[in-house]
Amino acid sequence: METNGEFLYLCDLTDLPEIKGKKYTIDDEEIAVFKIKENVYALSNVCPHQHKAIICDGFLEDNLVVCPAHGWKFRLEDGKQPGNRNGLRSHFVKIRNNKVYIKLAKSKLNW
């Protein structure tokens, strides 16, 4: 999928597993998408520890995603590590008529 800075259709809400990650690629960037009840979150799929694309395989704990390899934790709502430290790029998500749309954030990662 490619985007020109606008919201892009990603999937139907029913395509996302509950409390589990799913990987998508948009503009050559891997995105980890998580659904918890009616909320959907989209983060960079690459863990900054060793630059591995594994965040989508992480487990969820108290509105955090935990890297399955290193145990680093990132907040779902903004991608930051607890304590407001740097973390993952967080992307904009909206849901309309049970369809999920995403807009890639332009922010740079600080790691």
Residue 86, pLDDT score:
83
- Asked, for residue 17, whether it belongs to a domain, the answer is yes
- 66 has a pLDDT exceeding 60: yes
Question: Using alpha carbons only, what angle is made at residue 31 by residues 92 and 25, rounded to the nearest 5 degrees?
Answer: 115
Structural domain containing residue 32: 8-103
Residue 6 has which token pair?
């606008």
- 4 has a pLDDT exceeding 80: no
- pLDDT digits 0-9 by tens, 86-111: 899 999 999 999 999 999 998 665 55
- Asked, for residue 22, whether it belongs to a domain, the answer is yes
- Asked, for residue 1, whether it belongs to a domain, the answer is no
- 17 has a pLDDT exceeding 60: yes
- Asked, for residue 109, whether it belongs to a domain, the answer is no
- Asked, for residue 73, whether it belongs to a domain, the answer is yes
- Asked, for residue 108, whether it belongs to a domain, the answer is no
Q: Confidence band (pLDDT; 50, 70, 90) for 20?
A: very high
> CB under 8 Å, gap of 24 or more: what pairs does 11-17 form?
11/99, 11/100, 12/98, 12/99, 12/100, 13/40, 13/95, 13/98, 13/99, 13/100, 14/98, 15/100, 16/40, 16/100
- Asked, for residue 47, whether it belongs to a domain, the answer is yes
- Asked, for residue 25, whether it belongs to a domain, the answer is yes
- Domain count of the fold of the chain: 1
In angstroms, the CA 40 to CA 21 distance is 10
